[in-house]
Amino acid sequence: MSAPLVRISTCAGLCSGVERALELTYRAAQEAPPPVNTLGPLIHNPGVISDLKAQGVGMISDPGEADRGTVVLRSHGVPHETKEALLAMGLTVVDATCPFVTSAQEKAARLKAAGYLVVILGEKDHPEVLGLRSYAGDDSLVVESPADLPAQLPAKKVGVVVQTTQSQRRLAELVADLAPRARELLVHNTICSATEQRQAAAIALAAEVECVVVVGGKNSGNTRRLAELCAAQQPCTYHVESAEEINPVWVMGRRTVGITAGASTPPQQIQNVAARIREMEV
């Protein structure tokens, strides 16, 4: 028997925001005052984090761990108090926050300043959402679905911002629930275009193949959502971080296998997975 035909999504892998973050960090490793550390993982991809470590870029989990040198702010952004604290310590700060995240932070701050109750659609413990909440205020609400909203909204003037890697479906569900409950509703659709493009291409691919492999960090929110969307279209969907995780049983008897990848997945990781599948005679 021959190997299955492998189709790679027309839009998969690194987005411009992640590419920018990597470029800034690798440049900092060469030019910025040492030691160079990222505050938390720069992106949610274990392979990339290992490569950064090999290039001399360390990682700290708390600003207090840095007493000199350079701190790179992760692509997901940080609470504004954190950035201010690092600058006050006299450290060199390289801001690698994705521009889409920065825009969402600014919109959250404007909503708060205008007196809106800010509702953030996102994962409450995700680094990007923690940063967004620092701009939206302590009274902001973080929800993953309408079910997370309180029975009685604490205000009738409501503004919405969205974790940049959420899906349009989830946003539509939230807005449909909020609209009849708020006297004034202002929605900022801060889902980034890269997320939309990857999700649309992945759904289209999943409808045309017999198995889907989604490549990217297990801790990557946008990659997990790609896997969810693909699984809804094609139940034979698997999420892996590397080619070594591929089980031949997954593709056994399949004529076509589709591959897509999250916005923090480098091209080489995608190609490694494709090569591994092409080696399998099923």
The residue from 31, 84, 123, 128 that is catalytic is: 128
In Å, how far from its chain's centre is CA 251? 28
* Both tokens assigned to 79: 């609470």
For residue 226, what are the CA distances in angstroms to 31, 37, 166, 172? 36, 30, 10, 18
Residue type, 168: Q
Measured distance CA(247)–CA(35) in Å, rounded: 40
Phi/psi zone of residue 40: left (φ > 0), alpha (ψ -120 to 50 degrees), beta?
A: left
Terminal Cα-to-Cα distance of the chain (whole angstroms): 6
In Å, how far from its chain's centre is CA 77? 11
Query: Has 128 been annotated as catalytic?
Result: yes
Read off φ and ψ for residue 18, nearest 5 degrees: -70, -40
**Among the listed residues 192, 199, 179, the one whose alpha carbon sits nearest the alpha carbon of residue 20:** 192
**Among the listed residues 174, 134, 173, 169, the one whose alpha carbon sits nearest the alpha carbon of residue 158:** 174
Put the strands of the sheet holding 57-60 in their side by side order: 57-60, 36-39, 70-73, 92-95
Active site residues per annotation: 128
